[in-house]
Amino acid sequence: MAKKIALLFLCLTLYADTFDRACVPCHQRRGVALKPIFFDYLLYYSSERGVKGAMREFLLRPDPKKRLYKKGPIYRHRIDPGTLQKALDEYWERYKVIGKIK
Ligand code: HEC
């Protein structure tokens, strides 16, 4: 029983932390902070759908003209679309300001 519960928790944390596993470590290593990038996207695209859509598009097919982060060479993210979707949902939940203002 205890083992099952432990396993369940493990699964939940694995599920919940896609963003922390798939995005954060590399960004930390390279000194590319994800929080300011999020707010740049939020300012530019303003809606949840706009932010997630633009990031998804950019991370799957990087286009220098649509780039918001202008420092350093462009990085070609290789993330499978399913993981990316989950990661972007968590990214949004973490930093969205809508709801916190109310
Ligand atoms: C192996 C390294 C690495 C991983 C993993 C990684 N990134 Fe990045 N990312 C970078 C680097 C380096 C840059 C800065 C260069 C650039 O903009 O292309 C960047 C830039 C970005 C940008 C800015 C794009 C713009 O408009 O300029 C976003 C948004 C982003 N990453 C999101 C993510 C998300 C979300 C994940 C996880 C699903 C992720 N990254 C995973 C290295 C990584």
Decide: 44 and 68 in contact? Cβ < 8 Å. Answer: yes
Per-residue pLDDT reduced to its tens digit, 15-68? 558 999 999 999 999 999 999 999 999 999 999 999 999 999 999 999 999 999
Q: Are 38 and 95 in contact (CB under 8 A)?
A: yes
Which residue out of 19, 20, 21, 23 has the highest number of ligand 1 atoms within 8 Å of its CB and is therefore the one to mutate?
23
Model confidence, pTM: 0.86
Burial per residue of 19-35, b for 16 or more beta-carbon CB atoms within 10 angstroms, e otherwise = beebbeeeeeeeeeeee
- Show me where the domains of the chain are located: 2-95
Map residue 2 onto helix, strand or coil.
helix
Going by CA atoms, what residue is nearest to atom 13 of ligand 1? 75
Q: Separation of 56 CA from ligand 1 center, angstroms?
A: 11
pLDDT the model gives residue 26? 96
